[in-house]
Amino acid sequence: MNRLDYEYNQGFLPLNRIEMELKGWDRPDFVFVTGDAYVDHPSFGPAIISRMLEVNGYKVAMISQPDWKTTESIDVYGRPRLGFLVCAGNMDSMVNHYSVSKKRRSQDAYTPGGEMGKRPDYATVVYCNLIRKKYKDIPIIIGGIEASLRRLAHYDYWSNRLKHSILVDSQADILIYGMGEKAIVEVADALDSGIEVKDITFVNGTVYKTKTIEDMKGHILLPSFQELTDDKLNYARSFKIQYDNTDYITAKVLVEKYNDHQYVIQNPPAAPLTETEMDRVYSLDYMRTYHPSYETLGGIPAISEIKFSLVSNRGCFGGCSFCALTFHQGRTLQTRSHKSIIEEAKKMIWDPEFKGYIHDVGGPTANFRLKACDKQTKYGVCKDRQCLFPKPCRNLKVDHSDYLKLLKELRDLPNVKKVFIRSGIRFDYLMADNDDEFFYELCKHHISGQLKVAPEHVSDNVLSKMGKPDNSVYKAFVEKYKKINEKLDKKQFLVPYLMSSHPGSTMKDAVKLAEYLRDLGYMPEQVQDFYPTPSTISTCMYYSGVDPRTMEKVYVPISPHEKAMQRALIQYRNPKNYDLVHEALNIAKRTDLIGFDKKCLIRPRKNDSSFRVEQGNGVKYGNKAGLHPTENSKLKGEKQKKNKKTIRNVHKKKNK
């Protein structure tokens, strides 16, 4: 690029030394190292943190996806005045790299052109060690989803072992967990005032290391790392304490011992943002796209879904066991004002690429716009109960009117043809609303032919471990959805997200899910196998074999082969899954589902003596390759054509 190109990029924070010098800086206050490409959009954590620092008077320069094999890659700007900020990216680097079967993914949506391999495994640790190799004593502050969910000792699925707090392995000084806007400014102000990084121990939403806890009071001492490795049940007990200390009002300081001279201290979470604070965060001077230098490389695939989407809330009181939101954003809901969201929408609708469709208006759960109850504001969230599970709490405020008003305001904007909701409707919350106005409006205006929902399973045994409502709630939702669409004279469908091999799911539970899909006449193209990511209740079950909430034993499908069988049952019609489905049905003692009845999942193979059906003087065997009737119909049709052709040839010979 020539100098004019660099000048064109000046709306962005510097991504190289020339762009920094064009701003008139001799050096930055902070250098931000990220495992993602540099995208200046509020859906990307590094964009929010860097812009928050900027608006508070700090100079931030970006280093995106550095070469982790050389220290030169992090020495682009020289030594920053205050320190380095490090983030693996919008995803945990291991989730970004590997599927649940631990196979390497082929694309990275956060890298130019979707190219894979531009960041290392365990990126936060690798980047920090690279920085520490170059600058022995410079402050390093880590954050983002990878650091947040690995802030204390945690089970790591990819190495299949317990790992230290990421603060220990990375050699960083401070870890900021959660969304981090308040904590990063406090830490920056402390460093700027001359306080040494080792003395910044007072910021909520942070984790730090110390050599002694002699003067500490009012804390909770967790089992030591040695005790955790000695007994998995200790890990479950420790995780329950952590889970109970994620609310900013009630949380205590947590202490985890590594040896006699090393302790990791977790301060209570930062207070949730007020509506005014949320509005300020989303009103900063984002460029709302990726850095122009990526254009010739194919752009950043991840921008496509979020460029014309709107974040309306944070946090989630849904409490699904397999979701880490409780650990990262907390259960207290935070919302933006209508004015803030409308102002952002007005910036979008005049974009030359805008086609009239707002892709999404939501957050972790789209239809949450209120705190779960008034008691949370004074007393914090309940430790001993959930807001929606197993049934909606009697104190739960169920009201869609504010969300409905917001959607109507967005629909009325010029250039807007349609406003979709794609980030997830919590159907049990919707069913708890006595007013059906939002349900009708949802079906009438905000669905693109099909609505994606997440029942996850149909077995109540599994659903109870997932923290999801009984299957009867989903059934009632399906019926109501159908009736409303019939009244609106619309043909719209439901696409259920389903999960296989979650803790608690036996082979019989997996077969029950397959039977449900059979009766539904639906085979999902993609199946989500349970993925044990750090810091979820479900992952704790997977590792420890007990539910940390009750310490009761939980059946856990662990072996890759059993997980493959449970996954195959969801796609039992796929001929490639026949052997796995056959084996699974035998294990579940459900061979009644192997046969020719319409209720059967698969047919027996030819010469399978266990499943012969006598027919007159002959014996009927399974169809070719044991295919399901739907997949076998083409073969059957071809056979009929062949037989007709043979008969015609015989007649021709006789006539001759």
DSSP secondary structure of 98-135:
B-TT-PBPS--TTSGGG-S-SS-TTHHHHHHHHHHHH-
Percent of the chain with pLDDT over 70: 91
Q: What's the pLDDT score for residue 7? A: 65
Does the pLDDT of residue 535 top 80, yes or no?
Answer: yes
| Residue 166: CATH number of its domain | 3.40.50.280
Does the pLDDT of residue 1 top 80, yes or no?
Answer: no
What are the DSSP E strand ranges found in 434-518?
A: 450-456, 493-500
Amino acid at 114: G
Question: Is 34 in the same domain as 8?
Answer: yes
The whole-chain average pLDDT of the chain stands at 92
Q: What's the pLDDT score for residue 556? A: 98
Question: Is 474 in the same domain as 534?
Answer: yes
Q: What's the pLDDT score for residue 601? A: 96
Q: Is the dihedral of CA 508, 509, 510, 516 positive or negative?
A: positive
CB 495, CB 421: distance < 8 Å: no
**End-to-end CA, the chain:** 82
DSSP secondary structure of 198-239:
GG----TTEEEEES--TT--SEEEPPPHHHHHH-HHHHHHHH
Please identify, among 530, 557, 584, the residue that sits at the C-terminal boundary of a domain. Answer: 557
Q: Give residues with Cβ within 8 angstroms of 464, minimum separation 6.
A: 390, 504
Q: Which pairs count as long-range contacts for 599-602, CB under 8 Å and 24+ apart, including other chains?
A: 599/518, 601/514, 601/515, 601/518, 601/569, 601/572, 601/628, 602/572, 602/578, 602/626, 602/627, 602/628
Tokens of 473: 């709630």
Question: Is 31 in the same domain as 124?
Answer: yes
Residues spanned by the domain of 603: 572-644
Please identify, among 207, 226, 241, the residue that sits at the C-terminal boundary of a domain. Answer: 207
Higher pLDDT, 20 or 647: 20
CB 41, CB 306: distance < 8 Å: yes
Provide the pLDDT confidence category of residue 610 given band limits of 50, 70 and 90: low
CB 92, CB 125: distance < 8 Å: no
Q: What's the pLDDT score for residue 622? A: 43
Q: What's the pLDDT score for residue 522? A: 84
Question: Is 516 in the same domain as 621?
Answer: no
Does the pLDDT of residue 616 top 50, yes or no?
Answer: no
Q: Is the dihedral of CA 115, 117, 118, 124 positive or negative?
A: positive
C-alpha separations of 347 from 126, 286, 304, 340, 378 in Å: 38, 11, 16, 11, 37
Task: Give me the mean pLDDT over the 237-249 stretch.
Answer: 96
CB 35, CB 127: distance < 8 Å: yes
pLDDT digits (tens, 9 = 90+) for 162-177: 999 999 999 999 999 9
Q: Quick one: 437 exposed, middle or buried, by C-beta within 10 A (0-12, 13-18, 19+)?
A: exposed
| Residue 372: CATH number of its domain | 3.30.750
Does the pLDDT of residue 620 top 90, yes or no?
Answer: no
Please identify, among 557, 592, 625, the residue that sits at the C-terminal boundary of a domain. Answer: 557
* CA dist., res. 242 & res. 610, Å (int): 53
Tokens of 370: 């209120």
Question: Is 93 in the same domain as 53?
Answer: yes
Question: Is 42 in the same domain as 161?
Answer: yes
Is 528 domain-assigned?
yes
Question: Is 190 in the same domain as 59?
Answer: yes
pLDDT digits (tens, 9 = 90+) for 451-478: 999 999 999 999 999 999 999 999 999 9
Is 266 domain-assigned?
no
Q: What is the number of domains present in the chain? A: 4
Task: Give me the mean pLDDT over the 30-59 stretch.
Answer: 98
Question: Is 540 in the same domain as 583?
Answer: no
Residue 334: phi, psi to the nearest 5? -125, 135
Higher pLDDT, 198 or 647: 198
The predicted model scores a pTM of 0.91
Tokens of 135: 């600058």
Provide the pLDDT confidence category of residue 606 given band limits of 50, 70 and 90: confident
Burial 92-127 (b: 16+ CB within 10 A, else e): bbbbbbbebeeeeeeebbbbbebeeebbbebbbbbb
Q: What's the pLDDT score for residue 629? A: 44
Q: What's the pLDDT score for residue 609? A: 57
Is 214 domain-assigned?
no
Question: Is 152 in the same domain as 46?
Answer: yes
Task: Give me the mean pLDDT over the 286-294 stretch.
Answer: 95
Q: What's the pLDDT score for residue 4? A: 57
Does the pLDDT of residue 436 top 80, yes or no?
Answer: yes
Classify the phi-psi angles of 592: left when phi > 0, otherwise alpha if psi is within -120 to 50, otherwise beta.
alpha
CB 537, CB 241: distance < 8 Å: no
pLDDT digits (tens, 9 = 90+) for 477-528: 999 999 999 999 999 999 999 999 999 999 999 999 999 999 988 888 778 9
Does the pLDDT of residue 569 top 70, yes or no?
Answer: yes
Can you list the alpha helix ranges (DSSP code H) found in 523-628?
537-544, 560-570, 578-587
Q: What's the pLDDT score for residue 626? A: 44
Provide the pLDDT confidence category of residue 326 given band limits of 50, 70 and 90: confident
Is 276 domain-assigned?
no
| Residue 458: CATH number of its domain | 3.30.750.200
Is 241 domain-assigned?
no
CA angle 304, 309, 310 (to 5 degrees): 150
Is 250 domain-assigned?
no
Question: Is 454 in the same domain as 417?
Answer: no
Q: What's the pLDDT score for residue 424? A: 86
Question: Is 376 in the same domain as 417?
Answer: yes
Question: Is 51 in the same domain as 136?
Answer: yes
CB 42, CB 117: distance < 8 Å: no
Task: Give me the mean pLDDT over the 398-408 stretch.
Answer: 97
Provide the pLDDT confidence category of residue 605 given band limits of 50, 70 and 90: confident
Q: Which helix (H) or strand (E) holds 441?
A: helix 437-445
Is 298 domain-assigned?
no
Is 253 domain-assigned?
no
Does the pLDDT of residue 598 top 60, yes or no?
Answer: yes
Q: What's the pLDDT score for residue 619? A: 41
